[in-house]
Amino acid sequence: MTQVINAAELDAYLLQVVQALHRTVNYALPRLNDEKEADKALEDCEEILTLVLDGRVADWLG
Amino acid sequence: MFADKVEAKDFEKMDPEYQDLVRKVLTIQSDCEIGGPHLYVESMLPSAPTRLDKLIVARTATEEIDHFRKFAHVAGDIGLDVSFVLSLPNQKRYVETFRGEIKTWEDFAVFGCLIDRIGRYQLEEFIGCSYRPIEPLLPDIINEELGHIDYGETQTRELAARGGESKEKIQRALDRWYTKALDMFGHSVSARSERYVYWGIKRRTNAEARQEYIKEVNPLIESMGLSVPDPLQGRHYL
């Protein structure tokens, strides 16, 4: 059985999102005392998470 | 009792009831994975007490999104598209617990302690699952859920230990989520629950899993100096 195209594309997209979020969190964790760096990372996380939780799959895969 | 293992390529040869139950469980599991971040990201990411807490909120949401991705992948292999749950309004989530919003740190803490623990229970149901593609997902996902539970438990314990208003707030949050937690197991008398067990998709009935959960969390709550809420108060599924 082959995977439906939508699911495969969605999987690849979300994997990139998850990797980007992990990179951002892991970058910030050792820099908690650097207010500017940590806050920038948190802003980036918020932006990415908001995008994902909007759930506009057609836009992502379009 | 069905004891075989089913691969994705053989899924369509299976009894229609089996196919229906696997589709249902994959859809609900996907919905529950993404339902958590929908509850807390908007409010908790900007308002968590410290930068470290904020990063942990972000990491927790990231891991839940990844769990969704993994279940959506397994669903996609049998032609089931669960992407619609990504944009479901909270009020339309399959499980009542996810139909709201977490707005306080106390609620976030107790959610991790009690509700992510149920996430672990639900995932453990699939250990030895007759639908083979689910099992390889479990070790990593359960391990990450254990991290969420541990963080929630630590936060809950610390907030309780502060006493006074902090303890009162965490007790109120516990009262809210305990009821939802017990309801998450569903009706004790459930024909569908028995069919899941019959087909080897789940290991325990709703009633068995709920009893084990109560046995685990009640002593934990007491060890924090908090009161175990009335297990019948406000319940929808007994």
Q: Would you state the pLDDT for residue B238?
A: 83
d(CA B216, CA B213): 5
Residue-wise pLDDT tens digits, A35-59: 999 999 999 999 999 999 999 998 8
Pairwise pLDDT comparison (A8 vs B151), residue with the higher score:
B151
> Does the beta-carbon distance from B52 to A32 stay under 8 Å?
yes
Reported ipTM: 0.93
**Residue A41 DSSP SS3:** helix
- pLDDT above 70 (res A14): yes
Q: What is the pLDDT of residue B236?
A: 87
> What integer best gives the mean pLDDT of chain A?
91
> Per DSSP, what are the bridge partners of residue B131?
B6
What pLDDT is recorded for position B114? 98
- Distance, first Cα to last Cα, chain B: 26
Q: What is the pLDDT of residue A1?
A: 53
Could you tell me which of B152, B145, B85, B153 has the C-alpha nearest to residue B121? B145
Q: How far away is chain B from the Cα of A7, in angstroms, using its nearest Cα?
A: 5
Judge contact between B213 and B197, C-beta under 8 A. no
CB contact under 8 A, A11 and B65: no
Which pLDDT value is given to residue B38?
A: 96
Q: Take residue B8 and report the two structure tokens written for it.
A: 């994705």
Task: Give the angle subtended at the CA of B103 by the CAs of B117 and B61, to the nearest 5°.
Answer: 50
Instruction: Using CB atoms, pick whichever of A32, A49, A56 lies closest to residue B45.
Output: A49
SS3 B131: strand
Facing A11 at nearest CB: one of B8, B69, B79: B69
Per-residue pLDDT of chain B (238 residues; tens, 9 = 90+): 899 999 999 999 999 999 999 999 999 999 999 999 999 999 999 999 999 999 999 999 999 999 999 999 999 999 999 999 999 999 999 999 999 899 999 999 999 999 999 999 999 999 999 999 999 999 999 999 999 999 999 999 999 999 999 999 999 999 999 999 999 999 988 899 899 999 999 999 899 999 999 999 999 999 999 999 999 888 888 8
- CA separation for the pair B135, B215 (Å, rounded): 26
Residue A2 has pLDDT above 70, yes or no: no
B6 pairs with which residues across the strands?
Answer: B131
Question: CA separation (Å) from A61 to A14, A20, A26, A55, B97?
Answer: 10, 17, 27, 11, 30
CB contact under 8 A, B78 and A1: yes
- Is B77 in Cβ contact with A7 (below 8 Å)? yes
Backbone angles phi, psi at B9, to 5 degrees: -65, -20
Q: Which pLDDT does position A58 carry in this prediction?
A: 87
